[in-house]
Amino acid sequence: MKKPNVFIRGIYSTALTKLFIDAGYPIIFPSKEIQTRFKIPFRPIDSYSKDISIRDRLDKQGVSIMFKKSVWNKLEENNFEDFPLWQTHNPNLIVYNARFQKNSIYRGLIIKSNRQNNFSYIRLAPEDIDKDGFEEESSYSTTIGNYSHFIPDAKEGIFQVTHEDSGVINPSLGSFFTIPGDLVVIVPYNDRVIISKEIINGRKKKWLFDLGKDIQRTKKYGFIFRTAAALASEKEILEEVDKLEEDLIQTQNTITKYPEKIGEIFSNYHSINVIFPRQIKNSFDDVRRQMLPTMESHHIIKANPKINQYKRFYKTKDDKPSFEKKIQENEIKFTPSDLLTFTENLMYGLDKRANEKICRNYLKQYYNDFLKPRKILNILHQKLNGKTIKLAPGSIHSIEYESGRPHLIVLKRKLREGGLYDGLNTPIEMGDYAIGKYTIGNWYYMSTYYSKKNEIKGRYYNINTPIELSHQGIRYIDLEIDVVENMIGERKIIDQEYLDKTLNLNIISQELYDKAFGVAENILEGRI
């Protein structure tokens, strides 16, 4: 049986392309670099369909995957037995099934609209009702969508999901819905014919524009011709237009038939988000290294947001210095990702020993740029509900190295007065601080809480995916369950019920659950 086509873009594209090719999936519309690396065609014969589309998440910590609904249903029937990005094949993956699928159309209830900040919150589905008849807010999902415009004097509206939800992270919404296909997008609310900017052949552009105008003699809506349309025949385009028109009519009929229905009107896709912890990123390094020179921690460095580049304004165009002069004066700041790409390009054609030396020197400089005593380091605490919390940063107290790599980082963090320490029922007082010990690659870290008189008030063992380190700080995914230790050394496990919940929701696998619980038990018994 022919497997569905997979479209891949983003920082993980080389590793993912190899994984899917090895699993027998055809790759459709690869970038020129991927075509060259894998010696694959631009598309399978007689196919334009992006059955599965994989792109980076906005935070680069994983991928957003959109399936055609029929493809998703077929994979689900087969328990995803040969789908590479599934927990049965890699139990360390963290998966969020979207409640509101990308490109789906909803009628939503406007619950808040802010003119000053130009945004609105839209209720897309009713909240769950508890046993007492009250709305129950979920800790791991949402019913709200974000619309980036103020909506005056309206109670409800029709919206299309432009970016799916992920845990409690709300989906993004747009208005004036479209009906997307592989070759054409129907735009019901205008009569324009738009050609993809990726189509640069003048004759093709004119042919598609004329075809669009011909279709509009009988179809009273606009079109966007996608890049793949330049490869298709007129017959193939017209057949897809007819199919999309059926979906449009179904959507319009549902809107008319159920004028007060809040919820989904039309959906042809299924969306998931897959998060890659440190060990997954490192395994992708190994896969990529089979194809081309790849630095240690390649995907960890690439997965972090770019720093702001230097900006400067000049009175006249003639005052603007040359690119070379800007570099000499240190006025152009290259991101760590830029320098990584440049360094890896130097490694082509060199022997293993030379590459190891380049790698060693690059990483030494990379870590030296942000790992210095008393320098502030961020702590990015990603929750299993989808949120990433930036904890109070710490001042670097000490660094231990192993084989030339940072191994243990000790941070001193000032704590804000008020409230209680989690699980300890001990107040956080003025002058309290924490000493955190973060071992890179470890499944937990320990924070010791001190009073301003340097007296120990307790310890907290945070259970998490293996700790990773980058120029953005320390990052991990919190696995909910933790261990606390009071002032007299008594330990107990807390928050296991939240770990249980994520297992029941299939956010984590049974294997990852067992690993987290096993680490907690070992800490409780003093074995680690």
Shared domain for 54 and 165, answered yes or no, is no
How far is 461 from 448, CA to CA, in rounded Å? 9
378-398 burial code (b ≥16 CB/10 A, e <16): bbbbbbbbbeeeebeebebee
pLDDT in tens, 120-169: 999 999 876 555 555 566 789 999 999 999 998 778 999 999 999 999 99
CA atoms within 13 Å, Cβ hemisphere of 428: 16
Domain contains 469: yes
Shared domain for 94 and 212, answered yes or no, is no
Q: What is the DSSP letter of 308?
A: P
Domain contains 291: no
Domain contains 287: no
Shared domain for 310 and 189, answered yes or no, is no
First-last CA distance in the chain: 49
Domain contains 292: no
Structural domain count of the chain: 5
pLDDT value, residue 264: 96
CATH of the domain at 497: 2.40.380.10
Q: Which of 193, 224, 257 is the last residue of a domain?
A: 257
Shared domain for 31 and 119, answered yes or no, is no
Which amino acid is present at 121?
Y
| Residue found by looking up tokens 């910590």 in the block | 61
pLDDT in tens, 227-242: 999 999 999 999 999 9
Confidence of residue 13 (pLDDT cuts 50, 70, 90): very high
238-265 burial code (b ≥16 CB/10 A, e <16): bebbeebeebbeebeeebeeeeeebebb
CA atoms within 13 Å, Cβ hemisphere of 150: 7
Shared domain for 219 and 240, answered yes or no, is yes
Confidence of residue 315 (pLDDT cuts 50, 70, 90): very low
pLDDT in tens, 209-228: 999 999 999 988 999 999 99
Shared domain for 123 and 185, answered yes or no, is no
Q: Which of 177, 201, 234 is the last residue of a domain?
A: 177
φ/ψ of 324, rounded to 5, equals -65, -40
Instruction: Name the strand (E) or helix (H) holding 172.
Output: strand 172-174
Shared domain for 173 and 237, answered yes or no, is no
Tally of residues, the chain: 528
Q: Tell me which of 86 and 307 has the higher pLDDT.
A: 86
Shared domain for 163 and 199, answered yes or no, is no
How far is 389 from 226, CA to CA, in rounded Å? 38
Domain contains 248: yes
Q: What is the DSSP letter of 171?
A: P
Q: Which of 177, 204, 223 is the last residue of a domain?
A: 177
How far is 277 from 324, CA to CA, in rounded Å? 39
pLDDT value, residue 335: 84
What's the Rg (C-alpha) of the chain? 26
How far is 413 from 421, CA to CA, in rounded Å? 14
Nearest to 472 by CA among 262, 303, 283: 303
Domain contains 262: no
Residue 313 has pLDDT above 60, yes or no: no
Domain contains 285: no
Shared domain for 506 and 437, answered yes or no, is yes
Domain contains 295: no
How far is 2 from 49, CA to CA, in rounded Å? 13
Query: CB–CB of 7/29 below 8 Å?
Result: yes
Task: Give the 3-state secondary structure of residue 458.
Answer: strand
Residue 514 has pLDDT above 70, yes or no: yes
How far is 273 from 275, CA to CA, in rounded Å? 7
Tokens of 400: 């231990």
pLDDT value, residue 261: 85
Shared domain for 416 and 480, answered yes or no, is yes
Shared domain for 513 and 413, answered yes or no, is yes
Report the side by side order of strands in the sheet with 52-56. Answer: 6-8, 52-56, 62-68, 269-275, 94-97
pLDDT in tens, 60-119: 999 999 999 999 999 999 999 999 999 999 999 999 999 999 999 999 999 999 999 999
Cross-strand partners of 468: 475
Residue 347 has pLDDT above 80, yes or no: yes
Shared domain for 169 and 183, answered yes or no, is no
pLDDT value, residue 447: 97
Owning domain of residue 38: 6-98+270-280
How far is 401 from 363, CA to CA, in rounded Å? 12
CA angle 251/254/257 to nearest 5° reads 150
